[in-house]
Structures are given as C-alpha cells and as structure tokens.
Amino acid sequence: MDWTNLLVNVAGEIIAPTTAAYALAAIGLNIHFGLTGLLNMGQAGFLLLGAYGFAIATIAGWPLWAAVLAAILAAVVFALILGIPTLKLRGDYLAIVTIAAAEIVRIVGRSTTLTDLTGASSGLRGNSYKHTFQDASPFPDGTWELGPFEYAINASNSWWIRIVGWGVVALACLLIWLLMRSPWGRVLKGIREDEDAVRSLGKNVYAYKMQSLVLGGVIGAVAGIIYVLPRAVQPDAMGRSMTFFIWTILLLGGAATVFGPILGSMLFWAALMLIKLVMRGTVPETVMRSEQIEQFGWIIVGITLMLLVIFRPQGILGDKKELAINAH
C-alpha cells in the first residue's frame, strides 16, 4: 500500500469542497439544534432547495448574485412554511415534520412532472450552472499545485471553490461567534432550556424560533450551493442520509460550539476516506468487494453516531455541563 498517497488523499479530504459544504450545513444545524434546541431532521431539504434554487436560476440566465439570492429565498420560504405549523409543537413533532418536508422536496424534485425544471431523478448537470461561478474567479485558468495537492484553479473541483467554500465557512463561524455572545443568543439558549420560562419573561419565543430556523436554513441552502458546484444536483444524493451525516458531524464536533461543526466535518470525511483506502489496500476483493467497502464505511458512521450520542453527547469540543442535547 502506498502510504504517502493515502495520507495525501486523506489530507485532501480535509480541505475538500464537500467537507466545507458539510461543515457549513452543520453550522446551520447548530443554530437550530445547538443554540435553540430545534430538532431539525430535514437539513438536507434546505441544501437541496438551495442547490435547486441556484442551479435553476443560473440555467434561466440569472447572474451569480441573483442565483445565490434565489437559493436563499427558497430556504427562507421553506423555513417559513415549515415553521408556521410546527414551531408551536413539541420537539419530536418538529423532527417528524422536518424529515417529512425534506422528503417532500426531494419527491417533488425528482418527479417526472418537473423534468424540464429539475431534470427529475437524474437531476441537473454541473456544467449547466457552473459557469457564472467559475467566471467570477479573479484567477487565471489552469492548474495550481500546493505541496502534494494539485487542482484546477477554476474548473469544477477547483481551488476557487475551495477558497470560496472555506471563506464562507469562516464567515459563518464569525456570525455564530458573535450571535452566541449576544443577548439574541441568550434568548435562544433560554428557549433551548425551557421555552415557557422564556415566554413568561416576555420574549416572543415563536419569532425567535422562526428566526433561528430561517437563519440556519439559509446557511444550509448556501451549503447546498457549495455542495453541488463541483458535481451535479442529484435529488437522491441529498436525502435523509445526508441529514443524518450532518447530524453525526455536528454531534462529533460538539453542538453549541463555534468550531465543532468544522472539526466534525473534517474528521468525518478524513476518517471515512482513511477507512476506505486502508480497506481497499488490505482487504482482498474476494472478501469484500469495493462497493461493500463503501457500505462498510457507512455502517461505521451509523455505529459511531450511536456510540457518540450515548457516551459522549457533548462531542469533542462541547462542555458536558452546558450539554445542548436533551435539554427537554
């Protein structure tokens, strides 16, 4: 087995655009769950809507900024539709409704009725909506090498998407850092602990939850854009399992922390890549076929999620005393 190549691959995973997209999605979920205690089990729905919004608007000829705005708008509308019936209900209801709503987005998106718009189950090709983003790059075309990493500068899985992706993640972190230290964040924290108490103190709990849902959802939608820029919009790749990966990432890094989602995402994808590469190099094809290795990786993710929640619910960076999970 080629250890250098393996390490380069694993390290490459840490800075990959997918990792940034998942980190961002987890930051959005962190606002919902870590800060407010909302059990959003449909984060992938926000990502998918963001991806659709961006891709469809771009294909329709909208400029980059307008397409991003369309994605954000889609997330806002979705959050409002989702929040109005459910934010007054108990937590586990919200979990069921959000997971159902995300599923509805996917079902509608992949429906043959909307083929002209969404491409149905085969989705939208990356090349049909990447150009505005790539054209916005200030760098010359070509490839660039940094140490062992060599990527195209602007085209698809590029340095450009890495720079923008991680830049957005950094901005989102700053936002969370500011909000967690503000009176606004304090109200959310209070709601996470006991919303009736906060209501009795004259705060409009419903409005705060809605703000949290919208803000986290918008961040999710932007994550969706970053996620699909180096690939295609595939409704079936952005379903329930994506939501569960985001949850695993958040809980791994630590809910209600600023850097938890980033650390979680990096660890998650790097570890998964490490497992896959090591197994591909050591387990003979007769024992485990390559798609089985893939599945083996996801089995480990599932088990990790279980063990994590049971034995270290505060994650790596979390503080047990301020445990965000299980506030009610």
Partner 1 sequence: MPTDSAVRALADVPREPGAAKPDPIVVADDVVRRFGGMTAVDVQHVEIQRGAITALIGPNGAGKTTFFNLLTGFDKPSSGTWTFEGRSLHGLPAARVARKGMVRTFQLTKALSRMTVIENMRLGAGSQPGENLFTALVPPLWRAREREITEQAEELLVRFKLDHHRDSFAGSLSGGQRKLLEMARALMSKPTMVMLDEPMAGVNPALTQSLLGHIQALRDDGMTVLFVEHDMHMVRHISDWVIVMAEGRIVAEGPPETVMQDPAVVDAYLGAHHDTDLGDDALLSDDVAEQLEAEVQAEEEKR
Partner 2 sequence: MRRAASSRARSWTSRPPRVVGTVGRWLVLLLLTLSATALGQSAAVAATEQCAPTGESACINGTIRTAAGEPAVGVALTIEGEGQELAATTGPDGRWSASVTSAGTYSVTLDEGTLPAGETLRDPANNPREVTVELGASRPALFPLGAPAEQAPDAGDDDGAEGPGGGDQPDDAAGEPGEEPAGVGTSSSGGVTMTRFVQQLVSGLIFGLLLALASVGLSLIYGTTGLSNFAHGEQVTLGGILAYMGVQFWGLPLVVAGTLAVVLAAASGWFQDAAIWQPLRRRNVGLVQAMIVTIGLSMALQYVFQFFFGAGPLRVVTSTPTSVSFGPVLVTRQTVASVIIALVTLAAVSYFLLRTRTGRATRAVSDNAALAAASGISVNRIIRVVWTLGAGLAGLGGVLLGLYLGAARWNSGGALLLLMFAAVTLGGLGAAFGALAGSIVIGLVVELSSLWIPSDMRYGAALVILILVLLFRPQGILGRATRVG
Residues 142-181 that bind partner 1 (CB under 8 A): 175, 178-179, 181
Shortest distance in whole angstroms from residue 177 CB to partner 1: 10
Shortest distance in whole angstroms from residue 18 CB to partner 2: 3
The answer to whether residue 185 forms part of the interface with partner 1 (CB under 8 A) is yes
Spatial distance between the Cα atoms of 228 and 210, rounded to a whole number of angstroms: 27
* Identified binder of partner 1 from the candidate list 89, 108, 197, 299, rule CB under 8 A: 197
**Which tokens go with 312?**
């270290």
* Identified binder of partner 1 from the candidate list 10, 68, 124, 198, rule CB under 8 A: 198
Spatial distance between the Cα atoms of 25 and 40, rounded to a whole number of angstroms: 12
* Contact mark string toward partner 2, 3..22, x via CB under 8 A: ------x--xx--xxxx-xx
The answer to whether residue 318 forms part of the interface with partner 1 (CB under 8 A) is no
In the region spanning residues 21 to 40, those forming contacts with partner 2, defined by CB under 8 A, are: 21-22, 39
* Identified binder of partner 2 from the candidate list 46, 223, 244, 254, rule CB under 8 A: 244
In the region spanning residues 272 to 301, those forming contacts with partner 2, defined by CB under 8 A, are: 273, 276, 290-292, 294-299, 301
Q: Which of partner 1, partner 2, none does residue 183 bind to, with CB < 5 to 8 Å depending on kind?
A: partner 1
Spatial distance between the Cα atoms of 249 and 301, rounded to a whole number of angstroms: 10
* Identified binder of partner 1 from the candidate list 79, 187, 273, 293, rule CB under 8 A: 187
**Which tokens go with 99?**
């997971």
The answer to whether residue 203 forms part of the interface with partner 1 (CB under 8 A) is yes
The answer to whether residue 232 forms part of the interface with partner 2 (CB under 8 A) is yes
* Site stretch for partner 2 (CB under 8 A), options 57-65, 183-191, 211-219, 223-231: 223-231
* Identified binder of partner 2 from the candidate list 106, 189, 192, 209, rule CB under 8 A: 106
Bridge partners (DSSP) listed for residue 146: 149
Choose between 149 and 182: whose C-beta lies nearer to partner 2.
149
3-state secondary structure the chain: CCHHHHHHHHHHHHCCHHHHHHHHHHHHHHHHHHHCCCCCCCHHHHHHHHHHHHHHHHHCCCCHHHHHHHHHHHHHHHHHHHHHHHCCCCHHHHHHHHHHHHHHHHHHHHCHHHHHHHCHHHCECHHHCCHHHHHCCCCCCCEEEECCEEEECCCCCCHHHHHHHHHHHHHHHHHHHHHHCCHHHHHHHHHHHCHHHHHHCCCCHHHHHHHHHHHHHHHHHHHHHHHHCCCCECHHHCCHHHHHHHHHHHHHHCCCCCCHHHHHHHHHHHHHHHHHHHHHHHCCCCCCCHHHHHHHHHHHHHHHHHHHHHHCCCCCCCCHHHCCCCCC
Shortest distance in whole angstroms from residue 216 CB to partner 1: 12
* Site stretch for partner 2 (CB under 8 A), options 51-59, 177-185, 212-220, 227-235: 227-235
Shortest distance in whole angstroms from residue 129 CB to partner 2: 11
Q: Which of partner 1, partner 2, none does residue 160 bind to, with CB < 5 to 8 Å depending on kind?
A: none
Q: Could you tell me which residues come within 8 angstroms of residue 196 by beta carbon, excluding any fewer than 6 positions away?
A: none
The answer to whether residue 110 forms part of the interface with partner 1 (CB under 8 A) is no
The answer to whether residue 111 forms part of the interface with partner 2 (CB under 8 A) is yes
The answer to whether residue 328 forms part of the interface with partner 1 (CB under 8 A) is no
Amino acid in the structure at residue 177: W
The answer to whether residue 285 forms part of the interface with partner 1 (CB under 8 A) is no
User: In this structure, are residues 68 and 225 in contact, taking their beta carbons and an 8 Å threshold?
Assistant: yes
| Interacting residues toward partner 1 by CB under 8 A | 175, 178-179, 181-187, 189-190, 193-194, 196-206, 211, 215, 321-323, 327
